[in-house]
Amino acid sequence: MRPIGFSTGALARADFRRGTSMALSAGCAAIELSALRQHELFPMLDALNGLDLTGFGYVSLHAPSQMAPEWESAAWDRIRRELGRQWPVVVHPDALSDLSLWREFGSLLCVENMDKRKPVGRTAKELDRIFQELPDASLCFDIGHARQCDTTMTEAYLILRKFGSKLRQVHVSEVNTRSAHDALSYTSILAFQEVAHLIPEDVPLILETPVGAEDMAAEIAKAHEAFPLGRQSLVA
């Protein structure tokens, strides 16, 4: 069975404690601790030792989606102190002003492909330029972003074929025309099935769908439908 979990930001926005508790109660195998805004990062990192994460086989951190250049080095230094936990650190490439800083993170730096609003990181070609600067970084494949940029799923296919060896986790949601995350629909499930065979079965799926506790099990079931098991991966 694929490891499936949620982003705490999807479940409870800035309340990572509540999001973590919800994911534990739902029996999730994976969790992404999310600090999407600058002011959320340091309080979340300061609280890590007090969080009950023993039920999760996979944990990642999501750095702020926007970082002021003058604040970036402080964020980098504070996150760097947590690298000993061996948790991937998901970053938006447009949020990084000084790529040379983040190169030290190696494969624990997990670059996410972007939605159509962003100026970089949306396509395989754009990601290639980023990975040339960050050659050891891994990939957080946001399949909703890829579908929003190209509803034919061709770009999703190209990203997975080119960077499949870097794949560390998958963000799962439907991304609407306003670039907001929605719950999975029948059409998004069908679209995701087209490239699901390119995603190895041990790669964690992190749901970014904004659902309440009462709908988490149903959303997990939809994710299993979108990424069925038993099909051979074509990733080299």
Of residues 11, 6, 10, the one with CA closest to residue 170: 6
119-135 confidence digits (pLDDT tens): 999 999 999 999 999 99
pLDDT score recorded for residue 229: 87
Residue 208 identity (one-letter amino acid): E
Question: Where exactly are the structural domains of the chain?
Answer: 4-226
Q: Residue 236 pLDDT more than 60?
A: no
**CATH of 4-226 given 3.20.20.70, 3.30.360.10, 3.90.1300.10, 3.20.20.150:** 3.20.20.150
Half-sphere exposure of residue 156: CA atoms within 13 angstroms, side-chain side: 27
pLDDT interval class at 234 (50, 70, 90): very low
> 167-224: per-residue pLDDT in tens?
999 999 999 988 889 999 999 999 999 999 999 999 999 999 999 999 999 999 999 9
Closest CA to 167 of 9, 2, 1: 2
* Spatial separation of the C-alpha atoms in residues 15 and 166, rounded to whole Å: 30
In DSSP terms, which residues pair with 61 in a beta bridge? 33, 89
pLDDT at residue 232, rounded to an integer: 44
pLDDT at position 46 is 98
List, for residues 5-22, the tens digit of each pLDDT value.
Answer: 999 999 999 999 999 999
Q: Please check whether residue 153 is in contact with residue 195, taking contact to mean a CB–CB distance below 8 angstroms.
A: yes
Q: Are 109 and 60 in contact (CB under 8 A)?
A: no
Q: How far are the Cα atoms of 99, 139, 187, 212, 230 from residue 5, in angstroms, in the given order?
A: 29, 17, 21, 14, 20
